[in-house]
């Protein structure tokens, strides 16, 4: 995936030195810190933090359990609503969700309760004697789930809890999806994503088959015929194109490809690292890429966005992380040309300064060139068209490049459901993908049971 950078020198530092750059971004709370922090919670009636949580975790309740020393109770309450609560505690943008809604955020303290860190504390320190969830009586039904990312895993787990058998089809060698391959290494460290998957699968009744991909060795029509229902948790696996000449030149690649290689590498020192890098984008992936390549040893990293800071989808918190890691952030600049050297390799990019005319973004006619040995695209992902190429899949209704579903996550095709980043509408958040999978599982189970009763 990163062959485009093979002409670059590997990292200058040793693997052990680089590993030190990818420890936890936010260190875990100690027992004492958790006790103090949980005591700050007012346990609000109709708590705004709970109301805004995409996965409907009873925040006040689990924090009260921490305060009372009932760690297992706190963890069980979280996992009941969000089976991937450990990873969400680390990657969820709590600063714009529960912590932003916290009533402590609006008084003279000016600082919310550290809800994300408390959630992590509960799940990291729980010690269940057995799996906290038991399967219901067997329904005799088997559901196919396509994609072992957050949406697919959450759907499979809830279906299994309800007594169904599940077969997950996953294209990659490991389960976890974005958590395993696409999150900054300093957010989900070591093998946390795999441990979480192992815990989830321990409920039983879930089989995972790796190396299966829609459009390659799997068709929606075959799944629809063989299984009682199908859930599509496809994610967004295709990187959008800049639409510029030279986009396939050595030195230019999708940020997600480098992030995946970084997360899967057993020797960070073997990865190629540019001396100067450009990251194009404005979301969390762009920030993750820029910060990580800087920590890998790049001397200059410039993140470029065509609009202003206020329009960036990356939160203010994420922007501050980039600044703290000496990432240069240039706004109001749109890429217009990939600059190549005599050998056809990337040497930089030309950008046109942009401005707003009313609500319309336009070029100013002024250009700037930025030198770079590598350019990373982080301009968004789209649904892989090849995955939905068989005749049945082409009957799915679309909204732009996403699958349209109703309020119960049903697609236009009976027996086919979808959730996560591949559906519209959505915020492309891990926590939301988990909620989609959970709610879709209940819809699938209820629909199947209704058919059985009708028969």
The predicted-structure confidence for 8-40, as pLDDT tens digits, reads as follows 999 999 999 999 999 999 899 999 999 999 999
CATH number at residue 371: 3.50.50.60
Last residue of a domain, one of 99, 125, 151: 125
Tell whether 357 and 398 lie within a shared domain.
Answer: no
For residue 261, pLDDT beyond 90: yes
Say whether pLDDT at 304 is over 90: yes
The mean pLDDT value of the chain amounts to: 94
Q: What is the pTM of this model?
A: 0.95
Total tally of structural domains belonging to the chain: 3
Decide if 25 is inside a domain: no
User: At residue 454, does pLDDT exceed 70?
Assistant: no
- Give the helix ranges, DSSP H, for 266-310: 284-295
Closest alpha carbon to 153 in 441, 383, 388, 424: 441
- pLDDT class of 238 with cuts at 50, 70, 90: confident
What pLDDT band is residue 84 in, cutting at 50, 70 and 90? Answer: very high
Rg of the chain taking only CA atoms, in angstroms: 23
CATH number at residue 40: 1.10.1060.10
pLDDT > 60? residue 44: yes
Confidence of residue 405 (pLDDT cuts 50, 70, 90): very high
Are 354 and 290 in a shared domain?
Answer: yes
Query: For residue 334, what are the β-bridge partners?
Result: 352
Alpha-carbon distance of 106 to 284, in angstroms, equals 26
Distance (Å, whole) CA 127 – CA 97: 28
The span from the CA of 215 to the CA of 147, in Å, is: 13
Give the residue-averaged pLDDT of 334-349: 97
pLDDT at residue 427 is higher than 70:
no
| Residue 188 DSSP SS3 | coil
Question: How far apart are alpha carbons 412 and 426 in whole angstroms?
Answer: 18
Give the percent of the chain with pLDDT over 90.
87
- The burial class, CB within 10 Å (0-12 / 13-18 / 19+), for 90 is buried
**Residue of higher predicted confidence among 427 and 389:** 389
Specify the pLDDT at position 452: 63
Same domain, 335 and 405: no
Give how far the C-alpha of residue 202 lies from the chain's centroid of Cα atoms, to the nearest Å.
23
Same domain, 217 and 108: no
Q: What pLDDT is recorded for position 453?
A: 62
Contact 147, 221 (CB under 8 A): no
Closest CA to 282 of 378, 412, 352: 378
Domain that holds residue 106: 31-125
Q: What is the mean pLDDT of residues 373-395?
A: 89
Residues 371 and 281 in one domain: yes
Distance of alpha carbon 270 from alpha carbon 293, whole angstroms: 13
Q: Are residues 303 and 246 in the same domain?
A: yes
Contact assessment for residue 375 and residue 346, using Cβ atoms and an 8 Å cutoff: yes
Same domain, 108 and 41: yes
Count of helix runs (H) and strand runs (E) in the chain: 16, 18
Same domain, 75 and 178: no
Q: Is 206 found in the same domain as 259?
A: no
Looking at the predicted structure, is the pLDDT value of residue 455 above 70? no
**Pick from 283, 109, 111: nearest CA to 183:** 283
Strand (E) or helix (H) holding 348: strand 346-357
Q: Are residues 160 and 112 in the same domain?
A: no
Q: Tell me, yes or no, whether 154 and 211 share the same domain.
A: yes
pLDDT of residue 204: 96
User: Are 63 and 181 within one domain?
Assistant: no
DSSP state of 96: G
Please list, residue by residue across 118-130, b when 16 or more beta carbons sit within 10 angstroms of its beta carbon and e when fewer do.
bbbbbbebbeeee
């Amino acid at each position: 995936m990163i062959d485009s950078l093979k002409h670059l020198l590997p990292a200058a530092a040793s693997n052990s030195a680089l590993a030190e750059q990818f420890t936890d971004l936010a260190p875990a709370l100690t027992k004492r810190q958790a006790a103090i922090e949980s005591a700050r919670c007012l346990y609000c009636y109709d708590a705004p933090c709970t109301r805004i949580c995409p996965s409907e975790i009873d925040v006040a309740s689990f924090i009260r359990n921490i305060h009372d020393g009932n760690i297992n109770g706190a963890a069980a309450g979280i996992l009941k609503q969000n089976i991937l609560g450990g990873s969400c505690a680390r990657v969820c943008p709590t600063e714009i969700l529960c912590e932003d809604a916290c009533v402590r955020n609006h008084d003279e303290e000016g600082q919310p309760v550290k809800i994300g860190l408390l959630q992590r504390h509960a799940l990291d320190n729980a010690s269940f004697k057995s799996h906290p969830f038991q399967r219901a009586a067997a329904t005799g039904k088997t559901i196919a789930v396509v994609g072992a990312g957050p949406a697919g895993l959450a759907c499979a787990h809830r279906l299994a809890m309800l007594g169904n058998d599940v077969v997950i089809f996953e294209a990659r060698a490991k389960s976890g999806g974005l958590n395993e391959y696409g999150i900054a290494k300093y957010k989900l460290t070591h093998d946390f994503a795999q441990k979480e998957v192992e815990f989830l699968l321990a409920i039983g009744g879930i089989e995972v088959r790796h190396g299966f991909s829609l459009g390659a060795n799997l068709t929606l029509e075959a799944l629809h015929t063989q299984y009682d229902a199908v859930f599509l948790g496809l994610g967004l696996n295709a990187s959008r194109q800049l639409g510029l000449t030279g986009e396939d030149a050595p030195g230019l690649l999708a940020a997600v490809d480098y992030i995946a290689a970084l997360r899967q590498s057993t020797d960070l020192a073997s990865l190629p690292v540019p001396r100067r890098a450009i990251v194009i984008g404005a979301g969390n992936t762009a920030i993750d890429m820029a910060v990580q390549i800087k920590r890998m040893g790049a001397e200059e990293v410039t993140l470029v966005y065509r609009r202003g800071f206020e329009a960036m989808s990356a939160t203010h918190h994420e922007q501050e992380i980039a600044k703290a890691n000496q990432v240069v952030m240039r706004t109001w600049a749109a890429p217009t040309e990939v600059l190549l050297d005599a050998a056809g390799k990337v040497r930089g990019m030309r950008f046109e300064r942009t401005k707003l005319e009313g609500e319309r973004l336009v070029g100013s006619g002024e250009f700037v060139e930025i030198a770079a040995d590598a350019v990373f695209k982080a301009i968004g992902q789209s649904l892989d068209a090849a995955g939905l190429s068989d005749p049945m899949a082409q009957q799915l209704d679309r909204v732009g490049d996403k699958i349209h579903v109703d309020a119960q996550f049903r697609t236009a095709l009976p027996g086919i459901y979808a959730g996560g980043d591949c559906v519209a509408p959505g915020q492309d958040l891990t926590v939301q993908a988990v909620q989609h999978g959970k709610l879709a599982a209940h819809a699938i189970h209820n629909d199947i049971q209704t058919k059985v009763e009708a028969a």
